[in-house]
Structure 1
């Protein structure tokens, strides 16, 4: 039986007088590859902040790995990769292996030494994303797609059980997007990595994911990808006011 890693039950949230999320119920199980779809302003960023423990719900419950989110003390089990363009200065003078090794600070704790096998963990994480040969390269010398692979390796080096990616293909040229999604599918299928992917690119990623959730203040659909494919374009458009393929 699969373990439930994330479970939200009737979660609502608002900023002052503006309700952002209403009665969100969502479950992510071990081994899932979930695509979370939503337009700007649909509440995706707020939902991620609730899962990551950066916000607390106004009502409802959040369970992480079977524990109440407020009592969950293993944040290193959750890796997070943000949009590169919003989170990193590509001119920063650091090598690829230095960037990846910095991901071990969460596991080590503040002012604690890195684990003795830190170099082994870094090489393994880079190999998982196909970037081992770039270990000594300066991060600023890499393409956007290569940099984003390095940031995923940085999240993987602490050996999380769940990886959340917030629109990770922003800034990646179209030719490399397919290869990037293939890499995520490999992590899911061959490393049993549970993934939550926030994306606008439903058509490109649809043959890799196992589940889809459509968010617009509330959850309009959450289920298997094959079931999502049977929903008419008209029904999907009713959730957002326009075609899902034009959601961005």
Structure 2
């Protein structure tokens, strides 16, 4: 039986004398589409750093593919897209294709000349996120949503087994958010890429997501999406500390 992609057991984390996370246990298995939801200051970004092995827990264990996260060597198995990926200005001197191919730098070497095979792989990654018509466009001239799609393509070029996305819809117009999630769901379904989506918006939870973890310093809920659907708004409010309401979206083509 394959080890879970992410296995977090009894984790606590402190910054100096401040408790940030407590009693965190969480498993992400192959093929999951997990949404980690929680308010600002709930510890989501710290949890991501623990998952990536960038931080070590004060106590407990974090494993990636069965190995301690801080010792994990197959970094190409994990694609990471941050909430700041789309912070390019219009003068940034790189095309969309060049940005995507830069995702090969760790594997190929920073100054290695890219091959025709590399370019083909970059175009295939762009096709997967519906951005191949923009290959020659300057990255800084794209909208926020388009830039995030390009950075997902950059992560895809190394054929990761899992994508971790930290607040990926920051800077994306609300009318395009749902088509962005449709694209993630298609990658999860068609390419069998395991997804971990971090967000503070409860209303992103929809039928696209297989599992939900509700975090506010500790895990208040971790289960399948259908179980989360049955949680009352009052219960969510007690976890979040303020009024929240689940909104379920229909799948539309909002390109």
Q: Which residue of 2 aligns with 1:147?
A: 147
Deviations 1:152-200 (A, max 9, x none): 1011111111101111111111111111111011001111010011113
Alignment of 1:16-31 (within 5 A): 16-31=16-31
Instruction: Measure the CA separation in 1 of the matches of 2:231 and 2:2.
Output: 27
Contact 1:43–1:216 (Cα < 8 Å) also in 2: yes
Contact 1:11–1:62 (Cα < 8 Å) also in 2: yes
Residues 44/115 of structure 1: CA separation in 2 closer, same or farther (3 Å cut): farther
Q: Deviation of residue 203 (structure 1)?
A: 2.2
Q: Which residue of 2 aligns with 1:195?
A: 195
Q: What's the C-alpha RMSD, in Å, of the aligned pairs?
A: 1.9
Instruction: Measure the CA separation in 1 of the matches of 2:239 and 2:138.
Output: 44
Q: Which residue of 1 aligns with 2:127?
A: 127
Q: Where in structure 2 are there 5+ consecutive unaligned residues?
A: 247-255
Instruction: Measure the CA separation in 1 of the matches of 2:170 and 2:62.
Output: 29
Residue correspondences, number? 246
Instruction: Measure the CA separation in 2 of the matches of 1:12 and 1:101.
Output: 38
- TM-score of the superposition, structure 2-length normalised? 0.90
Residues 221/73 of structure 1: CA separation in 2 closer, same or farther (3 Å cut): same
Deviations 1:18-39 (A, max 9, x none): 0101111000001100110011
Instruction: Measure the CA separation in 2 of the matches of 1:229 and 1:15.
Output: 34
Q: Deviation of residue 2 (structure 1)?
A: 6.3
Instruction: Measure the CA separation in 2 of the matches of 1:110 and 1:77.
Output: 19
Instruction: Measure the CA separation in 2 of the matches of 1:233 and 1:198.
Output: 20
Higher mean alpha-carbon deviation, 79-88 vs 100-109, is at: 79-88
Q: Which residue of 1 aligns with 2:164?
A: 164
Deviations 1:66-119 (A, max 9, x none): 112233111111110011367544531110000111111122245666576211
Residues 85/158 of structure 1: CA separation in 2 closer, same or farther (3 Å cut): closer
Instruction: Measure the CA separation in 2 of the matches of 1:124 and 1:212.
Output: 30
- TM-score of the superposition, structure 1-length normalised? 0.93
Matched position secondary structure for 2:92? coil
